[in-house]
Structure 1
Amino acid sequence: MFTSILVPVDGSEHARKALSVACQLARQEGSTLHLLHIPEELSHETTLVWGIGAIAIEASREERENAGKQVISRAAEAAREQGVTEVETVIGQGDPARTILSEAKRRGVDAIVMGSRGLSDLQGFVVGSVSHKVSHTAECTVITVR
């Protein structure tokens, strides 16, 4: 059913759960997982999953990108540990919702599997969550994981 699945990962617990669901689907179908990370400026300090430390509010762009490389690398490792053999990674830039949508279209994915909330929870309440924007605009199936 899904031969190609895009999974945005931001280091949050919701993204980790979404990756787990995507891995289950990918194993059943022999799908390719496309892991996407978009480094963001956060309005608060946070600790990322996969054993990566906190990202300070005042972190430089380079520090965020280095943390992003660790996030996507650890996510790819986690996918392989869960039995997925075809894993591709990409680091994007820009508005998360738009970047996810354009990457999904560019890669022609059958589905996007993403967490219902990410690291920028507070902003989501004010301007609408990334998952909400993606699910209402994507041309493919979107599975939102809580």
Structure 2
Amino acid sequence: MFSHILVPVDGSDNSLAALDKAVALSQLTGAVLSILTVYRHHSLLEASLSMVRKSDPRPFDDVMREHATEVAELAKARAVAGGVGEVHAYVRNGAVARGIVNFARDRAVDLIVMGGRGAGSAENYMLGSISHKVTSLTQGPVMVV
């Protein structure tokens, strides 16, 4: 039925619920599971704020990449603990919905499983309205949890 399932995660409860659903589907079908965390490039305003953050003066992109990597690796560990045979974690920078759709196309993904709402404000860091955009842009099936 499915041989390759993609789960975009942002660490939110909804994205983790989607991950759990994808883990169950992977166990049933033997599908490879790809976990993808996409973070957006920060704005010039955010760049100016990074100059006054004494607690962590690193550029926002570095902080966001580090956080995205942690989220992806924790999701991978959760999938492995759930019994998935083959699971990979990826981190990308860019437009979130397009990043998900392009990844799915480039990797011949059979199914995208994603949460309906993401981590919160700032245009829902990862999902939220992103799930609507992905369903509109992709040619393949999308399961919104």
Matches of 1:20 and 1:81 in 2, distance apart?
11
TM-score computed with the length of structure 1 as normaliser = 0.81
Partner of 1:117, secondary structure, is coil
Q: Which has the larger radius of gyration?
A: 2
The alpha-carbon deviation at position 137 of structure 1 amounts to: 1.8
Matches of 2:89 and 2:80 in 1, distance apart?
12
- Structure 1 segments of 4+ aligned residues over 3 angstroms from their partners: none
TM-score computed with the length of structure 2 as normaliser = 0.81
Residue identity matched to 1:3: S
The alpha-carbon deviation at position 28 of structure 1 amounts to: 0.2
Match of 2:72 in 1: 72
Matches of 2:130 and 2:121 in 1, distance apart?
10
Count of residue correspondences: 129
CA deviation vs aligned residue, 1:47-96 (integer Å, no higher than 9, x gap): xxxxxxxxx9x972111111111111100000011110110111111110
Match of 2:92 in 1: 92
Match of 1:134 in 2: 134
Partner of 1:38, secondary structure, is strand
Q: Is the 8 A contact 2:18 2:144 kept in 1?
A: yes
The alpha-carbon deviation at position 41 of structure 1 amounts to: 6.4
Matches of 2:95 and 2:39 in 1, distance apart?
10
Match of 2:7 in 1: 7
Give the alignment's Cα RMSD to 1 decimal: 2.2
Matches of 2:59 and 2:25 in 1, distance apart?
35
Between the aligned residues of both structures, percent identity stands at 36
Identify unmatched segments of 5+ residues in structure 2: 43-55
